[in-house]
Amino acid sequence: MPDWGAMFTPTVPLLEIFIRGTVTFLSVLLLMRLTGQREAGGLGITDVLLVVLVAQAAASGLVGETSSIVDGILLVATIVGWSVALDAASYRWPHLARLIKPHPRILINNGRLNRRLMHREFMTRQEVLSQLRLHGIEELSEVQRAYLEPNGMISVVRRNQDAVDEPVKPPMEP
């Protein structure tokens, strides 16, 4: 028979859970912000961070490592709360958003690669050309500007504005 009282009685002081969640979230956010944006894939850095931390926080409560559901719920609420608070602050104060949120950066300007950005993001020429081919572009000279977006994707503005630029989807396997 489950011990219902133990499941819903916090095993760790609530303030300690809040502080641990806050420090962990903000520390991991800072580390991810410093490492660059290319590795995020289709999600934003904050999205990835939120999913990972919430999954970990919820897992400990579900498995019973904290012995209390309340501990896990408070930790998840702290992490989600900080995520929402930072999004709201970024929206309200654009100057703060520049610090918190990554922004698009120019990867190609008038057909020339931004080697400094490539070096910072550990991108090779071949990787950039591969991404351009997904946009239907075979030569750097066809690109007026290309941006490394906050979610790690590359967006392209062609020299020829008549051409439609949508990433080419890989063929579906039967």
pLDDT at 139: 92
- All residue ranges of the chain with pLDDT < 50 are none
So where are the chain's domains? 4-100, 105-158
The pLDDT > 70 percentage for the chain reads 80
Q: Judge: domain 105-158, CATH 3.30.240.20.
A: yes
d(CA 125, CA 134): 14
Taking each helix axis from N to C end, the angle separating 14-35 and 45-63, rounded to the nearest 10 degrees, works out to 150
pTM: 0.63
Residue 157, CA distances (Å) to 26, 108, 109, 110, 139 in order: 35, 10, 10, 10, 13
List, for residues 97-129, the tens digit of each pLDDT value.
888 888 889 999 999 999 999 998 889 999 999
